[in-house]
Structure 1
Amino acid sequence: MKKLQSFAQGTLVPVLVLIVWEACSRAGLFSEVVLPAPSAVAIKWWHYLLPAQPQEAGQSWLAWALSGELPHDTWSSLYRVVVGFLIGAGLALPLGLLMGANARMYTLFNPLVQILRPIPPIAYIPLAILWFGLGNPPSFFLIAIGAFFPVLMNTIAGVRQVDGIYIRAAKNLGVGAWSMFTRVMLPAATPYILAGVRIGIGTAFIVVIVSEMIAVNDGLGFRILEAREFMWSDKIIAGMITIGLLGLAIDTAVSRLNNHLLRWHRGLEH
């Protein structure tokens, strides 16, 4: 009952926005080219979801449905996000643990990190195309950069801010350096690391849309740019809504994974 009430409260504002939007569109306050009605967007989204060609004989309904533009574009974008994020996070996590646990390594690498960190991934687009050409590789590169720094900085912060009480208690018990790192520092830093993972995935999803407008010929970003060329505002908004729903689903999944992995953390409510 409580979850149902929370869901109803969460959907109240979006529903009101849709009602006002539909009423203004039907009243002619907006041009259909500039801002189509939600009903028109919903129709276009449905057409975007299903394939245009008729179902072939012997083809299953599921395979036919998934051959539409929207499932294909969604899968392409999600694939790039996952691969790029794994590359970026896979490089950031060990470096962040090393910089957080070793003061000398932190002093050595931190100046370079602080120089590169403010540079937005979009600024790397010319280099990405020059180095990797077109297709998925430049997208992977840009997404990896977008995911790298949130994971890196949160990992460093998590390791460096481990409560000194834990470290002193472990030393008094005779814990060695490796056990200190794996059994004390790493678990204590896990909430920070998972927060960085959540931010990194969100950043990766933003970057993938930009990269698809530049270097590839499929994906949600590419389809939005294509719709702009033909002034298909309804398809643009349909693509944007799809991006929002997919981002919400990813963030919800990561949030639940965090809650599951941090069951022991006293700050979480069960």
Structure 2
Amino acid sequence: MTTVTLPDKRPTPTAPAPRRAGRRGVPRGLLNLISLAIGVGLWALVSRLGFQDLPGPVAVVRRAGDLIMDGTLPGDILASLRRVLIGFALGTLLAIPVGFLMGWYAVARGLIEPYIQFFRTVPPLAVIPLAIVMMGIGETPKIFVIFLAAFLSSVVATYQGVVDVDKTLINAARVLGASDMTVFARVVIPASAPFILVGMRIGLGSAWGTLVAAELIAAQEGLGRRMQQAQLYYDLPTIFVGLITIGLLGLAMDRLLLFAERRLTGWQERR
């Protein structure tokens, strides 16, 4: 009697696929520290070579300590922060609804967009003479110039965010019976939030970039004002203290906005 051996139908275990060796990247914080150390080292080297009487890190730190001890630097920081925060907040609060109007309503877009594009081509610094004539030399023209820079940067980003919302999402919401207000609140605003936050970051940079020029308007204190006075006396360490302080404050505020962006747009797919 012949015995027939049937093939084994049980699945044979397969060897696990070899795991791809992932790249063990250097932590970003460590890279930032390395970059900072390299930058400070190059700065110290160039200053030691006597390039254009460039002050070294030690001289700048000493000057910063003197300005802190006599209360000059804290007062300048508070004055500049107040102007930037007020101008940036006002510019953003106006830019968001204007951007939504332009993106959602074609009539509003046709009426407002020419003015937005016109003023975008005019540097905010060019508005300073007009601001002085119309608003005087108090705090109002300084804040207005910063407000204008932040507004023009944020409104375009908000408008682009509304325009780029996926029409499939809007149509799906309407098919399900959502009203225009519901579509706007539940679809358009969340979908355009990343654009709005990016526009806020750009607007914040524009606000800080306009600060020094805004404080040309008869300011009595402020980082920009201190740098302008130091220029008259060729006080390079004080100029460096102002530059570094503005950079650090701007960087700290930008990190806060970036943190808010990650928390508010955690649903967004990231690469």
TM-score (norm 2): 0.87
Alignment check: 8 A CA contact 1:136 1:215 kept: no
Give the CA RMSD over aligned residues. Answer: 1.8
Q: Structure 1: any 5+ residue segments left out of the alignment?
A: 52-67
Partner SS for 1:16 = helix
* 2:51 aligned to which of 30, 33, 55: 30
Which AA in structure 2 matches 1:16? Answer: I
Q: CA deviation at 1:39?
A: 0.9
How many matched pairs?
Answer: 248
Structure 2: distance between partners of 1:87 and 1:144: 6
Alignment check: 8 A CA contact 1:22 1:38 kept: yes
Give runs of aligned pairs for residues 236-251 of structure 1, distance below 5 A: 236-251=239-254
Q: Which residue of structure 1 aligns with residue 151 of structure 2?
A: 148
Write out per-residue CA displacement over residues 101-148 of structure 1, whole angstroms, 9 at most, x where no aligned residue. 001111121122211111110000001111111121111110110011
2:132 aligned with 1:129, yes or no?
A: yes
* 1:200 aligned to which of 195, 200, 203: 203
Write out per-residue CA displacement over residues 164-223 of structure 1, whole angstroms, 9 at most, x where no aligned residue. 110111011011111111111111111111111111111111111211133311110000
Q: Which residue of structure 2 aligns with residue 17 of structure 1?
A: 39
* 1:48 aligned to which of 59, 62, 67: 67
Which AA in structure 1 matches 2:159? Answer: I
Go from structure 1 to structure 2 and tell me whether the alpha carbon gap of 1:147 and 1:232 turns closer, same or farther (over 3 Å shift).
same
Structure 2: distance between partners of 1:184 and 1:265: 13
Larger Rg: 2
Alignment check: 8 A CA contact 2:46 2:54 kept: no
TM-score (norm 1): 0.87
Structure 2: distance between partners of 1:206 and 1:24: 26
Give runs of aligned pairs for residues 82-121 of structure 1, distance below 5 A: 82-121=85-124
Go from structure 1 to structure 2 and tell me whether the alpha carbon gap of 1:3 and 1:122 turns closer, same or farther (over 3 Å shift).
farther
Which AA in structure 2 matches 1:97? Answer: F
Alignment check: 8 A CA contact 1:212 1:221 kept: yes
Q: Which residue of structure 2 aligns with residue 253 of structure 1?
A: 256
Partner SS for 1:13 = helix
Structure 2: distance between partners of 1:15 and 1:213: 34
Q: Structure 2: any 5+ residue segments left out of the alignment?
A: 1-23
Structure 2: distance between partners of 1:91 and 1:252: 23
Write out per-residue CA displacement over residues 218-269 of structure 1, whole angstroms, 9 at most, x where no aligned residue. 110000001111111111111111111111111111111111111222327x
Alignment check: 8 A CA contact 2:100 2:162 kept: yes
Q: CA deviation at 1:3?
A: 10
